[in-house]
Structure 1
């Protein structure tokens, strides 16, 4: 396979009538074969060509995770155009930025809500029969000509970073990058033929992209969630996946809910036949990994970024160390710079940022991707990430502190939803905590406390509960690294407030901007307690 544009057609040839996609329709799970998928992709690609989409044109896609997203995305790439995924949670301003920066000529939207966000280019509305109307019966000769003309180094997808520190940058990923990903998965292997993979991750994220490509390449069935996050756990029991890609938040929620349950119950939550789960996009506490391992549900961490096409280091079932993000993936080189930054090279590393030469030259140096992450390699080549360079707190006393470690430990508490540690150029670290309503509200009710997060955030009993958590975490750290004071926010962090990315990572700059006054008050206290 030369290019990822060929993938759906190669998969149809290899796997034919086997199940490629599974989705819930009117309450029942319905399968689509690899051949049916390829036929749909071909019809949509012909339609894009008829609609005037030229090779190299950018086509945006704003939709929830569903089979139609994959069909349309594969069609864009097959037509020789460049796919620009956009998170469905994006604001009008974010959509405007991405469409303008990429100079997209068309936007394929999941429904009217997404269509309403697009003000500058033509749209196709999936929910209003737009894909069926787009499909064309004629034009195979031109499509085949375009497929043959696509080269391995041609751009295929521009994925915009979630912008935790500023406007998103477009990561240009080539045909070769994705082919390398498929070959790496085959060597590991993670996803294998016959697997059933449950996907709820947003397809605008690289983690979901590598999942769908690996499934197509391996001959696995990709089962799409119904679109309701509250249905994820019930659907796991229905789909009974053998492989599960997820962000830590889901594992943490399940961990909190099933602590103390027999191993069989824990396995049953995932459907009872999960071979392995892969946690990515953010750090996960070792205690959570150990809990699931003991229950017979292997949850392994890997390390990658959008700029590396979702590939970097891997733990495998045969070779893994909990707490590390694994060893270099096949064909990947990892080294640590003098300042502790993790550097990466390999055939999956991106071509650069879209029309941003300055950012590209700062990130790709002498053939190495500067990840911005700090890490250490042990004697066996296992990588442990210790923090983000830009997130490191340097106290006024000169002590360097990686806030992620403290935050992960604090979030192991069932009561805490998010923890954000602050302290740069300040005398000591402080923390902003948010309460997990699913845990704290039943606890409060059992004690006759108000069922209101706003009131609970300032209640003395809740503060004592949080102080116990903070004290327990502090006991694991040297004095200079301990959280000296904390505040409890009267609501959770949200995507709507701009404080979380679509994969639920904290946007520190936004949190500090939104709650800077609250952080400041923590340095005005004088009693040395929370």
Structure 2
């Protein structure tokens, strides 16, 4: 094993709980805008809420919670989208020493029942009547549940009114007894298989990562003479969303909320809020890139965009070689080309994110190197990091001035990383969780001598840069015994604008295969651009042939990154995308591989059977048999 990290941490040690940040900021800078909200979801006007106003809202809510019997150690679930009330309510709960249990609002009845019962929640906060009905249908099995509060029915105002006669001193005394190692959040992993497990995260766990990032990187998102701002749209039900919220509150950044993740709503919110710091996941960055390409092609400027994108990537790669000591930087011709596209293309692309973004962060899974270089080349560096629920979010980041695209950076100060002999990543540090709630056996299995076994596979280079290569449980083993990690192939397949999602399969099969879903927006444009004029049957056949050729090119491009024995030999296009409602994606948008393989078992069988009908006498013939891609339609 190798053990690599950076310098020891330089951040101030936490002395209380997360709610203290609101009170301390209000005391130091009462007029600092800490949150922003809109009068209604369609509004383009954001009203600033100062630190002292946020403190008063948190205090009034805390009084209402106390009046309702919420005490230190009680668990309260929040089952809501990313909205203003989530932030205020979570800090009010932390102020009275309660523990927050986030639940995805899209969770099924069984998932809601399991989490509320397993965690022992005494109250749950939901958004709307539908969620009230979901919780109500399982209340019979939840003897500890005392309150169901509905945000859209004025629950928070009712709590404030209930707590009017609770003395301020009571809130202060309860807040001051919250210790750094008290549990702040019980975050249930979305569970790619089996029941979700509850990760107990302390106030110190959540604060340590945020404080380290703020100390080392926080200044990079502050505009000259201004204040950093973040539009929060990632689910607070996921640890990455909680990390963003904690970064903003502890760092004094102004935070707006966008609960609607549909493309139109998010795009409008970005243009009106104009953040300086953008936090997303790889699928968001990929989708934005594909939208840029589609819009350019629809305007007849597709070739111009592709040249500009190539220049951006070349320029960023030259900058990277320079900062890593491997080259002189962009040459004169490249600088000239880049300057031209800056005036004509890049600034328009940045405007789609509000026009003020200074830095972006990607998390949840690894970001494709080409996508990362593209964004750096247009003027928005994407800091690709790594973390998981059990580490309270990020444990790596790109070192300032030594960033390397295609990796997830190096261990944060105070965190150690090892790669075991089997390739599994092990970590230890102040952000590593307290353990799984009511599951000592799983806790012992995950924490080995103080090291967390992440279940992720990766490699460390001699300078400590970590590259994620996949998940241990996702490795595909073909019938010949070849082990294939699907992450790289899937990532490269998604680079093609027509490909929305990709799942590599092949366990106990003669070769690697892939299930592909198509991007609906780009597919519609692509079909229009073919301009096939013929009767319906001929048009459909020509479209199918053209699509097969396009996807075959995407597969060939993906295969170029791996050995022949690891390459995709057959693929099938599925009629619908994977989504949370069908149970094929986790709420954090990760593939439920086992569920996908079960759901599409017949299509997978047909994909391989279509290539194995003719008898083969020699192994060489059998291998050659898998060279051509399958019919694309399942």
Which of 604, 608, 611 is the matching residue for 1:519?
Answer: 604
Q: How does 1:254-403 map to 2 (within 5 A)?
A: 254-259=288-293, 260=305, 262-403=345-486
User: What is the TM-score with the length of structure 2 in the denominator?
Assistant: 0.80
CA-to-partner distance for each residue in 1:432-486, whole Å, 9 max, x for gaps?
00010100112113335799xxx89993432232122212322332110111101
Q: Aligned-pair distance for 1:23?
A: 1.9
CA-to-partner distance for each residue in 1:367-410, whole Å, 9 max, x for gaps?
00111111111111110011101111122212121101100000
- C-alpha separation between the residues in 2 aligned to 1:341 and 1:256? 33
Q: How does 1:127-526 map to 2 (within 5 A)?
A: 127-135=152-160, 136-137=163-164, 138-190=166-218, 194-225=227-258, 227-229=260-262, 230-259=264-293, 260=305, 262-447=345-530, 459-526=544-611
Aligned pair in 2 of structure 1 residues 457, 269: CA closer, same or farther (>3 Å)?
Answer: farther
8 Å CA contact 1:335, 1:343 repeated in 2? yes
SS in 1 for 2:394: coil
> Aligned-pair RMSD on alpha carbons?
1.9
Q: Aligned-pair distance for 1:7?
A: 2.0
- C-alpha separation between the residues in 1 aligned to 2:477 and 2:543? 30
8 Å CA contact 1:37, 1:71 repeated in 2? yes
Moved more, 259-268 or 246-255: 259-268
8 Å CA contact 2:366, 2:408 repeated in 1? no
8 Å CA contact 2:527, 2:543 repeated in 1? no
- C-alpha separation between the residues in 2 aligned to 1:236 and 1:318? 28
**5+ residue gaps in structure 2?**
1-13, 140-144, 294-304, 309-344, 612-624
Moved more, 269-278 or 259-268: 259-268
8 Å CA contact 1:332, 1:345 repeated in 2? yes
- C-alpha separation between the residues in 1 aligned to 2:518 and 2:218? 35
1:101 equivalent in structure 2: 118
8 Å CA contact 1:56, 1:82 repeated in 2? yes
Q: Aligned-pair distance for 1:212?
A: 1.1
- C-alpha separation between the residues in 1 aligned to 2:541 and 2:381? 36
8 Å CA contact 1:457, 1:488 repeated in 2? no
1:116 equivalent in structure 2: 133
Q: Aligned-pair distance for 1:228?
A: 5.0
SS in 1 for 2:46: strand
8 Å CA contact 2:94, 2:175 repeated in 1? no
- C-alpha separation between the residues in 2 aligned to 1:139 and 1:518? 64
Q: Aligned-pair distance for 1:317?
A: 4.4
Aligned pair in 2 of structure 1 residues 281, 457: CA closer, same or farther (>3 Å)?
Answer: farther
Aligned pair in 2 of structure 1 residues 457, 344: CA closer, same or farther (>3 Å)?
Answer: farther
Aligned pair in 2 of structure 1 residues 343, 126: CA closer, same or farther (>3 Å)?
Answer: same
CA-to-partner distance for each residue in 1:222-254, whole Å, 9 max, x for gaps?
111253522112221222111111011111111
- C-alpha separation between the residues in 1 aligned to 2:133 and 2:218? 39
8 Å CA contact 2:34, 2:48 repeated in 1? yes
8 Å CA contact 2:81, 2:236 repeated in 1? yes
Q: Aligned-pair distance for 1:56?
A: 0.7
SS in 2 for 1:25: coil
Which of 46, 49, 57 is the matching residue for 2:74?
Answer: 57
- C-alpha separation between the residues in 1 aligned to 2:270 and 2:400? 21
- C-alpha separation between the residues in 2 aligned to 1:215 and 1:400? 42
SS in 2 for 1:304: strand
SS in 2 for 1:198: strand
SS in 1 for 2:230: strand
SS in 1 for 2:443: helix
**5+ residue gaps in structure 1?**
none
Aligned pair in 2 of structure 1 residues 457, 323: CA closer, same or farther (>3 Å)?
Answer: farther
- C-alpha separation between the residues in 2 aligned to 1:70 and 1:284? 28
8 Å CA contact 2:497, 2:522 repeated in 1? yes
1:4 equivalent in structure 2: 18
Structure with max Cα Rg: 2
- C-alpha separation between the residues in 2 aligned to 1:218 and 1:475? 43
- C-alpha separation between the residues in 1 aligned to 2:215 and 2:258? 28
SS in 2 for 1:108: strand
